[in-house]
Chain A
Amino acid sequence: MADKVTMIYNGREVETEAGKPLIQLSTELGDEIPHFCYHPGIGVDGNCRMCLVEMKGAPKLVPGCTLTAAAGMEITTNSEKVHKARQGVLEFILINHPLDCPICDKGGECPLQETTRRHGPAHSRMADPKNTAVKHRVIGEHIIFDAERCILCSRCVRYQRDIVGREELLLRMRGDHVSVDIFENQPLTSGFTGNLADICPVGALTTREFRFQARPWEMRAVASSCGGCSLQCALTSWWKGPGLQRVTADVDHAVNAWWLCDRGRFDYPQESGLAESLVRRQGVQVPVSAEEAALRARELLAGAKQPLLIAGSRATNEELAAVGALSRSLGAAARPYPTLATELDFLAALTRSGLELDGLAGLGRFRRVLVLGEDPELAHPLLALRLLGGAAGEAPGAVTLVQAGAWAPLGDGNRNWQRIAVAPAAWLAAEGVRYVAEPGSLLVAVSSALVAAGTIDARSLATLAARAGETRLLWLLEGMNRRGVLAAAAAAPGEDPLRLLEGGEADLVYAFGLDPAADFADPARWEQGLDLAGGALIVQSGGLAAARATAAVVLARRAPIDLVGTLTNTWGLERRLQSWTPVAGRRPLDTEWFGPLLGAPAGSSLEVAGRHES
């Protein structure tokens, strides 16, 4: 904990931590020094001059972003001198900034717009026409650049250089010709380009996906988490009625800091659920209402002698618990979660060992990081970004990545990254002992496949626990809520569901929220098993196209971004999922139709609808 210091801010005595950035302090005090080029995640540059403040002892105004709290410091931000400086700076910035706020995607949530309204001059004194430039240039798969709007704060250039570690943007030319640009014919390639639209303080960098979709005031911002991978980054989803308009990053230092990967921002929200409920009648699946499908499903489940329920990593913790409760009340022999014995053993050992990493904040304290069995940029992109560390000084000393597959381009020019294209098991056998024996702090991240295969197990944990220096392990699970599935399975008694499925013992199978790639070590075996179940199959899950085609009942399922509840992320942190809510009434959850089977009191909307029909 940093030392407490006392300083004077606008004539008020303030106690704060030494070294706290002045802009952060001003926000906490409700003053908010206006700024453009400074961003807490990217760091200080001091080029926009918007944050000029008066400091006692300094002959001239000082850029506030370069200052940090110190004992005896005296800062004034509300004097006439500061006010005039702000007006002057804004007048210069606005000389060439176009007045196209009505058509700008940033309009309504634009720092420049807000700062001008609060601190700017009311009128322009410029008689000459403004500079014009290319207004919509596609510079990446997701990003459009408007050179006219750019105020040259260089946040984007520094983000690419310091955070992503790929210099793909530059400030080209000099003087009044200067412009942000990509290198010739080299569009942005990193998987983190969506953040550029978040950090741009004007509407110069916008996303192609959100271009002209909606204005900020029309949408409702919902704080939620990303289910694109098991890190579960904090995000805000923006809804207009039931329609998702865009996704932006939320700040969460334990997970994603200020950033989101493009997969989480653009691809994950596209993942669909099941819109229609289907019931098989005379061999043909016909669309029916949700109530009717639920009635039929309840009939089938109540009539089954040996039902088998499986819920997977595309379900929230609450849904997993609901399926577990249903499975128990129906007297199913198998536990309703697809897991492997190796995974459950490892989970128990990991919990006992106390070696588990508790968050991605402060990765800089590790001298060495070893990532085994995956390229984090492909599987858990934000981990790769955090390992690069960026300007926040969080980068670990050295990163060694071992995997046999293909590499994404992120670590290319980084001298601290060593990438070894060898099968991890072979590398561990040859180098493992020597690598681990070296003293100093060490973080080991292992892929879920290595644990599932038994390459990394309780013995590996014991080896790690025995070494000198701080040692932590991060288990990189695949799939959205795999950790939640494992935790639920660890607490649920019963047989392995795969054995029952393959043995053909189950006379009815209910599949809920499965992600075949993450949930099944061998998806083909599961698919064969589900094929065996044939007509006696209820599906309420995305994916599983083959199984869905043969199912007796298909129940509607929300899209992942639309789920409500909690998830457990890959190191056991509980994360919240939230979605849009209607102005009046409520939306039933996907597991609410279980109600009557669980002997729950009547009153759920589906239950009421069911009674009306009968």
Chain B
Amino acid sequence: MKVKRQIKQGWFERLYLPAIAGGLGITFRNMFHPSVVQSYPEQRWPTPPGFRGMPRLVMGDDGIEKCVACKLCEVVCPPLAITIVIGEFREQDMRERVPEVFDIDMGRCINCGYCEEACPKEAIVMSDLYEVAGYTREELIFDKAKLLSDYEQYKRPALERERQAGDGDHGRA
């Protein structure tokens, strides 16, 4: 196919000087604008509400993870990133059931947030963390200890508000 180019430059355009002046104008204007560049990683943007970072496990107020290994997140997880092995809790009066193994393969996780939606105990949440990197694939499989460890550091403000507003158990019969 033949393309017809219809670019007609007048003498003014062919001078080029006005265009150079216009470009330099933008350059100089920006020199005096306030800077939008941040010194990552020392400085970070606050993440917007509803941001879905890495999933994290939540520690209950009694110092035991809230997760009861119901496996709903495991079954709902589209890339099959979650592996759970059910365990029975030793001091049974406090809680009957905890996950013996809770692994999330961050190499697989697509941050879709379905696990958070499915969880009946609000035991898994999407955190603000978004830096996932490792030198091997094995390094990217996060175990229970790791998923629980830095939760306090990265807990979401929205969840905190919800927790303050009332207990998480929605009143279904």
Q: With A103-B96, A136-B92, A212-B88 in contact, do A116 and B70 touch (Cβ < 8 Å)? A: no
Within 8 A of B (CB), among A210-269: 211-215, 217-218
> Is B171's CB under 8 angstroms from A124's CB?
yes
Q: With A218-B71, A218-B75 in contact, do A99 and B169 touch (Cβ < 8 Å)? A: yes
Contact of B173 among A122, A135, A212, A217 (CB under 8 A): A122
Q: With A123-B172, A212-B86 in contact, do A136 and B96 touch (Cβ < 8 Å)? A: yes
Q: Does A156 contact B (CB under 8 A)?
A: no
Q: Does B107 contact A (CB under 8 A)?
A: no
Within 8 A of A (CB), among B44-79: 68-72, 75
Q: Does A107 contact B (CB under 8 A)?
A: yes
> Is A124's CB under 8 angstroms from B70's CB?
no
Residues of B within 8 A of A91 (CB): 173
- In the assembled complex, the CB of B90 is this many whole angstroms from the nearest CB of chain A, namely 13
> Is B70's CB under 8 angstroms from A107's CB?
yes
Q: Does A120 contact B (CB under 8 A)?
A: yes
Q: Does B155 contact A (CB under 8 A)?
A: no
Within 8 A of A (CB), among B85-134: 86-88, 92, 96-97, 120-121
Within 8 A of B (CB), among A120-137: 120-124, 126, 135-136
**In whole angstroms, how far apart are the Cα atoms of A107 and B69 in the complex?**
12
> Is A102's CB under 8 angstroms from B72's CB?
yes
**In whole angstroms, how far apart are the Cα atoms of A94 and B172 in the complex?**
10
Closest to A121 in B: B173
Residues of A within 8 A of B75 (CB): 215, 217-218
Q: With A116-B173, A122-B172, A123-B173 in contact, do A135 and B96 touch (Cβ < 8 Å)? A: yes
**In whole angstroms, how far apart are the Cα atoms of A211 and B69 in the complex?**
13
Number of interface residues, chain A, beta carbon within 8 A? 24
Closest to B120 in A: A102
Residues of B within 8 A of A126 (CB): 173
- In the assembled complex, the CB of A25 is this many whole angstroms from the nearest CB of chain B, namely 30
> Is A99's CB under 8 angstroms from B172's CB?
yes
Residues of B within 8 A of A218 (CB): 71, 75
Within 8 A of A (CB), among B130-173: 169, 171-173
**In whole angstroms, how far apart are the Cα atoms of A171 and B89 in the complex?**
30
Residues of A within 8 A of B68 (CB): 102-103
Closest to B96 in A: A103
Closest to B172 in A: A123
- In the assembled complex, the CB of B66 is this many whole angstroms from the nearest CB of chain A, namely 11
Closest to B88 in A: A212
**In whole angstroms, how far apart are the Cα atoms of A120 and B86 in the complex?**
30
Q: With A101-B120, A103-B96 in contact, do A215 and B173 touch (Cβ < 8 Å)? A: no
**In whole angstroms, how far apart are the Cα atoms of A101 and B171 in the complex?**
14
Closest to A127 in B: B171
Q: Mark A423-464, 1 if CB is under 8 A from B, else 0.
A: 000000000000000000000000000000000000000000
Q: Mark A127-154, 1 if CB is under 8 A from B, else 0.
A: 0000000011000000000000000000
Q: With A91-B173, A123-B173, A217-B75 in contact, do A212 and B92 touch (Cβ < 8 Å)? A: no
Q: Mark A105-125, 1 if CB is under 8 A from B, else 0.
A: 001000000001000111110
Closest to B74 in A: A218
> Is B92's CB under 8 angstroms from A124's CB?
no
- In the assembled complex, the CB of B102 is this many whole angstroms from the nearest CB of chain A, namely 14
Residues of B within 8 A of A102 (CB): 68, 70, 72, 120-121
Residues of B within 8 A of A122 (CB): 172-173
Q: With A103-B96, A212-B87, A217-B75 in contact, do A94 and B173 touch (Cβ < 8 Å)? A: yes
**In whole angstroms, how far apart are the Cα atoms of A214 and B69 in the complex?**
10
Residues of A within 8 A of B71 (CB): 215, 218
> Is A211's CB under 8 angstroms from B172's CB?
no
Q: Which of B121, B169, B172 has the most CB of A within 10 A?
A: B172
Residues of A within 8 A of B169 (CB): 99
**In whole angstroms, how far apart are the Cα atoms of A218 and B69 in the complex?**
13
Within 8 A of B (CB), among A63-119: 90-91, 94, 99, 101-103, 107, 116
Closest to A124 in B: B173
**In whole angstroms, how far apart are the Cα atoms of A214 and B87 in the complex?**
11
- In the assembled complex, the CB of B62 is this many whole angstroms from the nearest CB of chain A, namely 16
Closest to B86 in A: A212
> Is B97's CB under 8 angstroms from A103's CB?
yes
- In the assembled complex, the CB of A94 is this many whole angstroms from the nearest CB of chain B, namely 5
Residues of B within 8 A of A135 (CB): 92, 96
Closest to B75 in A: A217
Residues of A within 8 A of B88 (CB): 211-212
Residues of B within 8 A of A90 (CB): 173
Residues of A within 8 A of B86 (CB): 212-214
9 CB-based A-B contacts, threshold 8 Å: A90-B173, A91-B173, A94-B173, A103-B70, A107-B70, A123-B172, A136-B96, A212-B88, A215-B70
Which of A's residues lie within 8 Å of B, judged by CB? 90-91, 94, 99, 101-103, 107, 116, 120-124, 126, 135-136, 211-215, 217-218
Known A-B contacts: A135-B92, A212-B87, A215-B71. Give 13 more (CB < 8 A).
Answer: A99-B169, A101-B70, A102-B121, A103-B68, A103-B70, A121-B173, A123-B171, A124-B173, A126-B173, A136-B92, A211-B88, A212-B69, A215-B75
Among all A-B residue pairs, the 7 with the closest Cβ atoms: A102-B70, A124-B173, A103-B97, A212-B86, A94-B173, A103-B68, A215-B71
